[in-house]
Structure 1
């Protein structure tokens, strides 16, 4: 007979003097200091959406990373990286990784590890497949959840290193908009500016955006729920320009806030294939695997 521990605040086994929220099946990323009980699960906090600052040397991933406490990471496809912005994705293969942790009652559970094939967004309760040739680039403790191509190149505008592609997820809490379509349409301008006009420190790695055109928009199923995407092609003052997408979909955790996934792919022969945006979208799953049911499960990705 399997016994489960009900959701609630329990002493954090990894941080004496603090408490961590147990959702009934696994630890979450929410913690608090000692004090009175807070009714119900904690709500998502505001996250500033921005791509990672461009580095002056290629990123080196440390072998020892921070252990993230949460639910188990499910299987995720490892995607082949193809050349050319309009190319097709290659074959995929599955990869999973789990490690045991302790639940509040001492019963074994599991938690995502630093699986190089899976990007884990603890706050929004989702995982994304990391394509072949990509890596996680965000701080695992704070900041947006981000992955980028391992290969970098000298930015054609301001000095520094640029990535051929990035994907970032965050929670859309700094808005009154309530529909996926409205959130995506409102976010696309900021997504384009952050990716190709100026970076977080004000540099202009591509000498700014000179023009843009919308190449795709429409409803799409993400994690079993109806979302919405808007995709632009942008021309830049230096370099080949690129493609930017804002994808919004309902979260299945916390206060049901919208999740925003931003894609930025360089155009030209060095950029990832555009089809990879849709492949990553189809690979978004809840932490622990499986699919969430919901309205829109029969919808297909919109046509280009």
Structure 2
């Protein structure tokens, strides 16, 4: 009885120097650098070098065959015990599951919030969203729970994501408004034009309209929000939002919170983006923090 390989990291058939996440049914867009070297199986005492090399080579062939959708069955002594080809992802699963980046949740972890320790903030996990799992970008903290086949290029897409990052390379005198505008442009390019691995899941971005620009209080700090509605060559297009504000910890570096949301009936409501931003808190805080509609002091 045949079955698909289990979810895990496998060599990317389109980029040999990287690995891509296989979700058990199809390739996703998640990727990471491939390990520098494959671990060799232990040798029995007295085994010759020629046999060890043959075993290692067999392991490489097996991994490559899985990626290509073909399983090669090799006998225990390193010789060919028969070859069986299966098309697509329906080949037999590998002997052991490949490593994944998911970690078991801590028993004390708050399921209702996700934490960005570096920037000293937490974000709410609202209904229709979940903590990010099996994503290649460590900045992504929240996603919508289900994937769908991208309308144009290979891979799987999500209806929404929320990511946080420290703003770097800030020019002297740069305003929060200017930084948010640049960040939302960068975010739109990655989400709806050309992604980090050079694919165009929506056939490219064809235009955008600014639908919101305003000062905003985030986690008790004055910041600025910019939201675009983008159109694409394929698919429904969507909304991209960036909010830039100072962190309340350390050197108080500027933080950008990026949100993307497809303009689709299958997506959560647009109001969720306001709810998530309004619910941002400093690490350790239990309430307050300000948000959409909160009063703020002067800001650039």
TM-score tier, shorter chain, comes to: 0.5 to 0.7
How far did residue 117 of structure 1 move? 2.0
Given candidates 252, 259, 262, the residue that maps to 2:255 is 259
Kindly indicate whether the alpha-carbon contact (under 8 Å) linking 2:102 and 2:134 is maintained by their aligned counterparts in 1.
no
**Structure 2 residue matching 1:202: 3-state secondary structure:** coil
Give the one of 187, 203, 206 matched to 1:191: 187
Report if the CA contact (8 A) 1:54-1:160 is conserved.
no
**Counterparts of 1:18-97 in structure 2 under 5 Å?**
56=26, 62=102, 64-65=104-105
> What do residues 69-107 of structure 1 show as CA deviations (whole Å, max 9, x unaligned)?
xxxxxxxxxxxxxxxxxxxxxxxxxxxx8x4xxxxxxxx
Query: Is residue 260 of structure 2 the alignment partner of residue 282 of structure 1?
Result: no
Q: Answer whether contact 2:216 2:295 (CA < 8 A) is retained.
A: no
* SS of equivalent residue, structure 1 residue 246: strand
Distance across 1 between alignment mates of 2:146 and 2:135: 21
Which of 159, 167, 188 is 2:162 aligned to? 167
Measure how far apart 1:139 and its partner are: 7.2
Deviation at 1:57, TM superposition (A): 5.5
- How far does residue 146 in structure 1 lie from its aligned partner after superposition? 2.1
CA displacement 1:199-221 (0-9 Å, x = unmatched): 11011100010111111111011
CA distance in 2, matches of 1:199, 1:54: 18
Judge conservation of contact 2:205–2:233 (CA < 8 Å) in 1. yes
Question: What's the CA shift for 1:138?
Answer: 5.8
For the 8 Å contact 1:116–1:135, the answer to whether it is kept is: no
Q: Give the secondary-structure state (helix, strand or coil) at the position aligned to 1:181.
A: helix
Q: Is the 8 A contact 2:216 2:222 kept in 1?
A: yes
Any conservation in 2 of the 1:136–1:147 contact (CA below 8 Å)?
yes
Q: What's the CA shift for 1:151? A: 1.2
Q: Does 1:230 align with 2:270?
A: no
Deviations 1:103-146 (A, max 9, x none): xxxxxxxxxx2x33211000111100012232222679983142
1:142/1:264 Cα in 2 relative to 1: closer, same or farther (>3 Å)? closer
CA distance in 2, matches of 1:140, 1:237: 25
Out of 124, 130, 141, the position equivalent to 1:129 is: 124
Task: Sort the Cα spacing of 1:126 and 1:140 in 2 relative to 1 into closer, same or farther, 3 A.
Answer: farther
Determine if contact 1:138/1:144 at 8 Å carries over to the other structure: no
Q: Distance in 2 between matches of 1:141 and 1:201?
A: 11
Structure 2: tracts of 5 or more residues without a match: 1-20, 31-99
RMSD: 3.1
Runs of 4+ in structure 1 off by over 3 angstroms are 53-63, 138-142, 290-293
Counting matched residue pairs gives 202
Could you tell me the TM-score, scaled by structure 1's length? 0.59
Q: Is the 8 A contact 1:265 1:271 kept in 2?
A: yes
Give the secondary structure class of the aligned counterpart of 1:252.
Answer: coil
User: Of the two, which has the highest radius of gyration?
Assistant: 2
Residue 186 of structure 1, CA deviation: 1.8
CA distance in 2, matches of 1:183, 1:268: 28
Partner SS for 2:111? coil
TM-score scaled to structure 2, two decimals?
A: 0.60
